Structure 1
Amino acid sequence: MIYKFCPAVLLLILSFSPGNLFFSETKNVKEIAKVIKTSSETNEEAIYNSLNSNQFALPQLESFKEALKGFYILKEKGLISKNILTLIDFSMSSNSKRLWVIDLTTNTILYNSLVAHGRNTGNEFATSFSNSPQSFKSSLGFYATGEIYSGKHGNSLKLDGLEKGINSNARERAVVIHGAEYVSNSFIQNNKRLGRSLGCPALPLELTDKIIQTIKDKSCLFIYFPSDSYKGASKLIS
């Protein structure tokens, strides 16, 4: 791994003479680590603050920071290859646009869309998640997008769950990105909430092909929820 330190970190490191390091090595290392950690957090916030919203609403800062942390790790490991990040925030009402597709090369939000959660995950709000087959629930965490195929919902995009025990059964469960008529403002108006899937992050029909073409073939998808159990189990954001 190649570390890129901000000027404050470099100044702190260079300010320690060999003598100082010899007599107070533990203290100095802790101070360096603290500054590096703060610098990293500042960098994530800086990227967030520099996002070109493209007239869309911004995601929540916390969900974006977690998504970005995992994105960097997965990119380094070669599990994703594109600088495209798709963030779904399931802490938000299903009646709101809670999916973002972000081009991290230009720091531009490309799409902001409605997205469905699984029927057993909740009604208007998502509350329960599972990796189990036939649970009809959504799964949290990081995914790599796969290949496009034509199914009963038309063009759809396969997903590979990258977190064992959290979303690793995505292929087996046929959790994919597809379009659905129940993902629409008219459905919300008639039912007081968005429609629900069998666990798939379903999209509005008019945006499905555009989003799928943008994020296909090993880009990063992150489904966020402020879950302590997820944070404890995930090796990508802990």
Structure 2
Amino acid sequence: MENQSVVRRQRLKRRTRRMARRVLPFVASLFLATPLAAPVTKSKAATTGSELRSISPEAMKAVLFDQRVQGLYRELGVEQQGLRYEVFEKALTGYLNLEQEGKLGNKQLLTVVDFGLPSTQKRLWVLDLANKQVKFHTLVAHGHNSGENMATNFSNENESNMSSLGFYVTQGEYTGKHGLSLKLQGVDEGYNTNALARSVVMHGAEYVSEDFIRQYGRLGRSLGCPALPMDQKDAIIEAVGGQTCLFLNGPDTQYSSKYLNEEVAMSKLLSDTQMI
């Protein structure tokens, strides 16, 4: 069943979207100290003020949250790289929830993997939220039984050889059969909480490369791990290790998470001066 807070938020968005388009520049100037694009006439200011009074505090908070998320999305420049806004918004919502619960360290990194895209596309992003930069954007493999070029099946079960969707908190590094690797703790009950027991880790693989794509028309596939290109895996693992947020998105309409609580995310983001 879809997360109730998300359903409420979607309804709120629909009710306020039309009014938000008219009052958003005025709201931004008041709350974010950003200058208006043009002087506000007396009549326009009066109309805007009337509309503002008709918006509930909850709706105003939602408008400000949307503006902040959209602004961060634009500053990161990830739309041009293929990261869809709806995926970014979900990932950031989970990040903020995990941060609010004290589950994340101090690195302020968010790693997003979008398994809604084919394996032939670069579908992993490591985002530096503090400095508003993309640290890495690269290929990543999905599990063997999740699909061929497109990942369509996901599982939390041992020996399923499928990828597991949801939010993870990265753990410590270790050296195994794939060289430097990174343990991942799944935090979405029913979706990825068996990750440690399944040895679902971040590691490098020779089958994650442009050469492999040219030869086979897709990436190779793992046993469920988000496998990385060999020439980037050490740098990525060292960067994101130690309690950072990883979000694996995919085309599963049944997926839900307690970390998609947008009320918590709104309160956290609007009070966080480092991400403004």
TM (norm. structure 2) is 0.73
User: Segments of 4+ in structure 1 off by > 3 A?
Assistant: 6-12
- Unpaired runs of 5+ residues, structure 2, are 1-23, 32-52, 262-276
Q: List per-residue Cα deviations over 1:33-56 (Å, max 9, x = no partner).
A: 122112212211111011156xx8
What is the Cα deviation at residue 10 of structure 1?
11
SS of alignment partner, residue 65 of structure 2: helix
Report Cα offsets for 1:32-84 as digits up to 9, x if no partner: 2122112212211111011156xx82511111111000101101111111200
1:11, CA displacement in angstroms?
7.2
Bigger relative contact order, structure 1 or 2 (CA pairs below 8 A, ≥6 apart): 2
Give distance in 2, aligned partners of 1:167 and 1:211.
21
Q: How many residues align?
A: 214
- Residue 10 to residue 45, structure 1, CA distance change in 2 (3 Å): closer
Deviation of residue 8 (structure 1)? 3.2
Show CA shifts across 1:93-130 (max 9, x none).
10010000010110100110100000000100010111
Residue 234 of structure 1: how far off its partner (Å): 1.1
Please tell me whether residue 64 in structure 1 is matched to residue 83 in structure 2.
Answer: no
Q: Report the counterpart of residue 8 of structure 1 in structure 2.
A: 27
Superposed displacement of residue 199, structure 1: 0.1
Gaps of 5+ in 1: 1-5, 13-27
2:126 counterpart letter in structure 1: V
CA RMSD across the alignment: 2.1
Post-superposition offset of 1:227 = 2.4
Q: In the alignment, which residue of structure 1 is the partner of 2:260? A: 237
User: C-alpha separation between the residues in 2 aligned to 1:190 and 1:90?
Assistant: 21
Q: SS where residue 93 of structure 1 aligns? A: coil
Deviations 1:127-154 (A, max 9, x none): 0111011100000110000111010000
SS in 2 for 1:106: coil
| Aligned 8 A contact 2:97 2:260 in 1 | no
What percent identity do the matched residue pairs reach? 43
Looking at structure 2, the residues matched to 73 and 29 of structure 1 have their Cα atoms a distance apart, in angstroms, of: 29
Q: How does 1:17-166 map to 2 (within 5 A)?
A: 31-51=56-76, 57-81=81-105, 82-166=107-191
Q: Given residue 81 of structure 2, which amino acid in structure 1 is its aligned partner?
A: A
Q: Note if contact 1:9-1:36 (Cα within 8 Å) is conserved in structure 2.
A: no
